Amino acid sequence: MTHRWTVGIIAAGLFLAGCSSESAEPVVSPSASATPQALPSETTQILQAQLTKTMQRNDVPGGAVEVCVPGYEAWATAEGLADIESGTAMTTDMYWPLRSVTKSYTVTLLLQLVDEGKVSLDDTIDQWIPDVPNGDQITLRQLADMSSGAPEYTTQAWIEDYVADPQRAFTTEELIAYALAEPAQFAPGERKVYTNTNTLLLGEVVAQEYGQPFDQVVTEQIIVPLGLTQTRYETAVNEWPGEHPTGYTPGDDGQPEAEPNNFTVLGPAGAMTSTLSDMCRWATALGSGELLEPATQQVRLQGAPLEQGPEYDEYLVGMGSLEGWVGHTGEGFGHTVLVMHNAESGASVAIGMNTSNRGKHLPTRYFRKIAPTLDAIPPAG
């Protein structure tokens, strides 16, 4: 089996129902006050009902959601199946592949280097990596905001190598080499096209500047400082911590088909894993600029719509905006996730569904439906 659905979605550069339901599980939010209160029942009923509706209408095997609002207990719920064959129910404490949410970590590391005065967003990528088409013109900012024109690494050559051995371990350098064999997509700054190679290149900049492997840098600079004890950058092909959902894509008959997994084909563009609670914590740190200087966070919030890529209102500097919230989404190998934060209310949300390659990002569609309800939550107290 060549897993044409996975290959198709990756090649396009988007690394981007009627199921049993588990009762909602309140957990303590990291941002909650000493005496948090429960979210209003009318709010949680709407969130739950819309999750059920989204999953049923789109034949989603399983989904899970966590909402974190200052002053309230975090509200989490799971519905459906984590694995169809075994009948394992989805739960709120499973580990999810972050896929392209990883990009928001990588760009945060880059911006930390900016704050430390080690790099400038106006530096060109040829200072770190040779032979990038237009590398003497492509800035780090253009890589981070998807306007570089760098070629995508998921070329026909890569597809052939991946299909020949889906469990082959790729290095980031090998992935970049596939891209460097191709011409530029467009002149730097001319267009805005979501390209995974951009973040692979930035991951190399980060690793070179810190003089450490990328997994060590992201652990020391982000995971440990934020207390994300259930978040990792994966360096092995298919080794996961804890329980995790099986990923599914539609088969030729329209029925869910289990997908293989290979973190090494994603690198700094998509190789991290996390749980809902850690995803909610990351959404808050990301959207609030907790790890950056205020001026740098303001630079990060500048963006424009993508011409090609995932469903965002705008793509900013290493994150996107949806309905006035900011964060990132991810997709691939049968999984879709979303983390978003509202800077005005301080609310964050994390969503995971074990389905992908549907022609639409279902956590995004669900989020758009519930955003007005989340925005209407009154201040606690």
The count of other CB atoms within 10 Å of the CB of residue 111 is 24
Instruction: Quickly list DSSP for 118-180.
Output: S--TTSBGGGTSTT-TTTTT-BHHHHHTT-S-PPPS--HHHHHHHHH-TTPPPPHHHHHHHHH
Is 77 among the domain residues?
yes
CA 159 to chain centre: 22
- 3-state DSSP assignment of residue 112: helix
Q: Which two tokens stand for residue 368?
A: 């758009």
What gap in Å lies between CA 320 and CA 314, rounded to an integer?
6
Provide the residue range defining the domain that includes 181. Answer: 18-375
Is 207 among the domain residues?
yes
pLDDT at residue 20, rounded to an integer: 33
CATH number, domain containing residue 187: 3.40.710.10
Is 4 among the domain residues?
no
> Structural domain tally of the chain?
1
Inter-residue contact 139 to 132 (CB < 8 Å): no
Is 381 among the domain residues?
no
Is 268 among the domain residues?
yes
Is 8 among the domain residues?
no
Inter-residue contact 326 to 336 (CB < 8 Å): no
pLDDT at residue 34, rounded to an integer: 64
Per-residue pLDDT tens digits of the chain, which is 381 residues long: 333 334 444 444 444 433 333 334 444 444 444 689 999 999 999 999 999 999 999 999 999 999 999 999 999 999 999 999 999 999 999 999 999 999 999 999 999 999 999 999 999 999 999 999 999 999 999 999 999 999 999 999 999 999 999 999 999 999 999 999 999 999 999 999 999 999 999 999 999 999 999 999 999 999 999 999 999 999 999 999 999 999 999 998 889 999 999 999 999 999 999 999 999 999 999 999 999 999 999 999 999 999 999 999 999 999 999 999 999 999 999 999 999 999 999 999 999 999 999 999 999 999 999 999 999 999 997
